[in-house]
Structure 1
Amino acid sequence: MENKLKKSLKFSVSIAVITFVLAAIFSVISSSVMSGVIWGVGLCIVFVIVFTGVVFDMLGIAATAASEPPFHAMAAEKISGAKEAILIVRNADRFASFCNDVIGDISGIVSGTASAIVVIQIANVLGHSDGSTVQIILSVLLTSIVAALTVGGKAVGKFLAIHSSTKIIFIAARVIAWIESNLRINILSPSTKSTRKSR
């Protein structure tokens, strides 16, 4: 029990550090990009960020809802991505934590910051800035739209994740397998892979 607690705390600290670093990176990148584009492009970027959060939320839920047997059958036939899918399901708690809490929360924060920049850009185009009524209305309107898209998108994502968990995780696993094979980027940690082998 004590060993599991230590591992849990270690993972929590590592996730917190990763979140801090990624949030800082994405915030700087999004702010830099948003400041150099027109408001229409900026609005599209906001929607892309929201969509990213919805997709990763769906992946996290799908990982907790999926089961191993279908992927064992695929692995026996040496289908690409099957082994990665097994790793994802066996480590569903960590995978879900990264997708839902890290990427999901960062997307929410960054989309809020990006929305504020878009509001300022639109207000400047209309000739209303410095806390004008128009700017306030634009801010409320865009914030409401982003919130509605986020909540509505995640609701649809949850439905798909629960009812099509195997397909979703397999697609994610195929993407991970391709990245690890072709780009030489180790997404699934060595410790996770060694855990799989020891079982």
Structure 2
Amino acid sequence: MHNHKSSVSKRYILFIFVGSFLLAVAFSLLSETLTRSVKSVAISLTGLLFIILIGILADIIGTAVTAAQEAPFHARAAKRVRGAKEGVFLLRNADKVANICNDVIGDIVGTVSGALGISIVVKILNNNPGWPALWANIIMTALIASLTVSGKALGKTLALTRANDVIFLVGKILAYWQKITGKRCTKKNRPVNKKRVNKV
């Protein structure tokens, strides 16, 4: 049997801690700014849907990266197809990509969407003092949960059936980002060391 050694290190754990903190601050500032500066409940709800969508898209990427096959990307990379090398990079770091997308972004989005939902409920109750606060909170919580769960369920189906296409699309986005900014967000891929394990 092959021993699959995880690429997760203490340095990576520290990176995840700091990155999660900064992302949580950024998302929280975004949601707070949205609820405080925008008086329209409809616009606030649109912002909430956008945040939930980010979580669903991240979940799709995190699922697809664990299901995609690396071989087709090597074939495309040999033909110098844009995004293929980036796809290989993502697949060779599948554990980290899945962790960031499914756990880091997913958990942060879940927390922030809940907080934003409460803020929207408060805004609705301020505009409609006669409405029951208990039921308003229950309905908002149920709405956020149902949208998130059903969206991720649909997204997982797409991620598992079109895994290569999803990762190739993400790879193309990374490639264009690198072209526009001039900053590499991927490292040069090293060849995989394939060793045969002799049967005893």
The TM-score normalised by the length of structure 2 is 0.87
- Aligned in 2, Cα 1:28/1:97: closer, same or farther, shift over 3 Å? same
Question: Does the CA contact (< 8 Å) of 2:7 and 2:93 recur in 1?
Answer: no
Displacement of 1:11 after TM fit?
Answer: 1.3
Displacement of 1:35 after TM fit?
Answer: 1.2
Is the counterpart of residue 99 in structure 1 residue 101 in structure 2? yes
Alignment of 1:152-171 (within 5 A): 152-171=150-169
Query: Deviations for 1:160-196, whole angstroms, at most 9, x for unmatched residues?
Result: 11111000000111111111111234433xxxx14x1
Displacement of 1:10 after TM fit?
Answer: 2.2
Displacement of 1:55 after TM fit?
Answer: 0.7
The aligned residue for residue 9 of structure 1 is: 10
Alignment of 1:12-51 (within 5 A): 12-37=13-38, 38-51=40-53
Give, as a single letter, the amino acid of the residue that structure 2 aligns with 1:107. V
Question: Does the CA contact (< 8 Å) of 2:114 and 2:141 recur in 1?
Answer: yes
The aligned residue for residue 198 of structure 2 is: none
The aligned residue for residue 64 of structure 1 is: 66
The aligned residue for residue 139 of structure 1 is: 137
- Aligned in 2, Cα 1:6/1:150: closer, same or farther, shift over 3 Å? closer
CA distance in 1, matches of 2:49, 2:182: 30
Unaligned runs of 5+ in 2: 193-200
Which structure's residues are more often helix, by fraction? 1
Query: How many aligned residue pairs are there?
Result: 187
CA distance in 2, matches of 1:74, 1:6: 25
CA distance in 2, matches of 1:57, 1:122: 30
Question: Does the CA contact (< 8 Å) of 2:56 and 2:148 recur in 1?
Answer: yes
CA distance in 1, matches of 2:87, 2:103: 20
Is the counterpart of residue 179 in structure 1 residue 177 in structure 2? yes
CA RMSD after TM alignment: 1.7
The TM-score normalised by the length of structure 1 is 0.88
Give, as a single letter, the amino acid of the residue that structure 1 aligns with 2:57. V
- Aligned in 2, Cα 1:32/1:89: closer, same or farther, shift over 3 Å? same
The aligned residue for residue 80 of structure 1 is: 82
CA distance in 2, matches of 1:185, 1:106: 26
Percent identical pairs in the alignment equals 36
